[in-house]
Amino acid sequence: MSESPVPVVLAGAHGHGRSHLRNIGGLAEEGLVRLAGVCDRTPLPESDLAAHPGAEQDTDLDALLRRTGAAVTILCTPIHTHLALARTALDAGSHLLLEKPPTATAAEFHALREAVAASGPACQIGFQSLGSGAIEAVRSLIADGAVGEVRGIGGAGTWVRTSHYYARAEWAGRRSLGGVDVVDGALTNPFAHAVATALAVAGAQREVADDIELELFHAHDIESDDTSCLRLHTPGGVPISIAVTLCAATSRPPRLVVHGDAGRITLFYTLDEVRLERPGAEPRTSVHPRTDLLRNLVDHVRGDAPLLVPPEETAGFMAVLDAVRRAPDPVPIPAGMQRVTSADDGVHRVVDGVDDLVALSAERVALFSELAAPWAVPGGAGPGSHPAAVPDRGGDTG
């Protein structure tokens, strides 16, 4: 690939696609890329493309790619469309930045990997947090014995999403649509980064776990989960739990807590921030750079850098997604255990005590049912089970 700006097509320009449009604009100012075209069922206003002279619009991705010769396609479309559109881009010889989650099923993920291997162009999966130097910083601290033996990793995510979040698209909050798997739940989409980043910290991002415990609930009138937790074990036996909700009282930066027998490390993965805490010492906080995944993809195809998030780096996450897909339907949280208020952008639902329960789950690497959440069904809802895995907190400073 020459050093001239790389032509890029963006498929899916609304919603989260807007962030990709902004990122393309920044990289275009550096002369790294240029926007060759936009593919969306709803065209962008021409004013949105004023900074991208010559950019075309079309509802047909294949036609747009053939006409523009785009070297890179950014695919930011509904989950259940990913595989077919990825094949379209790869068949056209276009390298691919594919938004997370990569596909809606394990079988589709296998097909995606086969398509990538057979086609030649590179495929980067859009887990932006996996481009953060904070992950390697945490892994280095663990390897250096900064917190002693790791007893568990707990993840916590508390965000506020109103009813508007689920009304924005027909696939939002759906487990399936027209008989096609979608799997748009809290663990598999908005907090997918929590799962993928925890696995990366543990060095288990390529592992396919089959002992995943799940507890899936919903307060909103949706099919999928908006309040959920999981627990799995790495091949080395380290338990990882992730507890999340979109029905929090207050949105806070999500975090992963590495519990050691001589301290703890907290990773705020959206902030690229790492905090080390050990008994008898002042906490140490560091902030790390993040590599943009589109920049890395362009550098990779030019031969200047290894690809940061090829599909195989997300195999562990896809095992979790497929377990969620195969799990029984999420359990409704009774209306009497919710606080409902009106907001400018819809109805805000808060599950009783959920902010504290999510935090406690990360502290104890425990499931909601083990924490006596009043709305939680005893036992896991997913395949496989383990006894409660609460880390030894003798060296825990929190």
Does 138 have pLDDT greater than 70?
yes
Cα angle at 209 between 211 and 137, to 5 degrees? Answer: 120
Structural domain total, the chain: 2
Note whether residue 398 is domain-resident: no
352 and 230, same domain (yes or no) = yes
pLDDT value for 31? 96
pLDDT value for 225? 98
pLDDT value for 389? 36
142 and 116, same domain (yes or no) = no
Q: What is the pLDDT of residues 50-98, one digit of tens each?
A: 999 999 999 999 999 999 999 999 999 999 999 999 999 999 999 999 9
**Whole domain around residue 262: which residue ranges?**
133-289+312-371
Measured over the CA atoms of residue 283, residue 271, residue 28 and residue 92, the dihedral's sign is positive
pLDDT value for 390? 35
pLDDT value for 1? 53
Q: What is the pLDDT of residues 274-312, one digit of tens each?
A: 999 999 999 999 999 999 999 999 999 999 999 999 999
Does 392 have pLDDT greater than 60?
no
Is the separation of the CB atoms in 104 and 171 below 8 Å?
no
Does 102 have pLDDT greater than 60?
yes
Structure confidence at residue 383 as a pLDDT band (50, 70, 90): very low
Note whether residue 388 is domain-resident: no
CATH code at 282? Answer: 3.30.360.10
Amino acid identity at 244: V
Note whether residue 191 is domain-resident: yes
Structure confidence at residue 2 as a pLDDT band (50, 70, 90): low
Does 396 have pLDDT greater than 70?
no
For the segment 159-175, the average pLDDT, to the nearest whole number, is 96
Q: What is the pLDDT of residues 289-299, one digit of tens each?
A: 999 999 999 99
Structure confidence at residue 246 as a pLDDT band (50, 70, 90): very high
For the segment 6-25, the average pLDDT, to the nearest whole number, is 96
CA distance 47 to 43: 11
146 and 226, same domain (yes or no) = yes
Q: Is 305 exposed, middle or buried (0-12, 13-18, 19+ CB in 10 A)?
A: middle
Does 334 have pLDDT greater than 60?
yes
Q: What is the pLDDT of residues 207-226, one digit of tens each?
A: 888 799 999 999 999 999 99
CATH code at 27? Answer: 3.40.50.720
Note whether residue 65 is domain-resident: yes
368-389 residues labelled b (16+ CB within 10 A) or e (exposed): bbbbebebbeeebbbeeeeeeb
Note whether residue 158 is domain-resident: yes
13 and 89, same domain (yes or no) = yes
331 and 241, same domain (yes or no) = yes
Note whether residue 397 is domain-resident: no
Q: Please indicate whether residue 25 or residue 393 has the higher confidence score (pLDDT).
A: 25
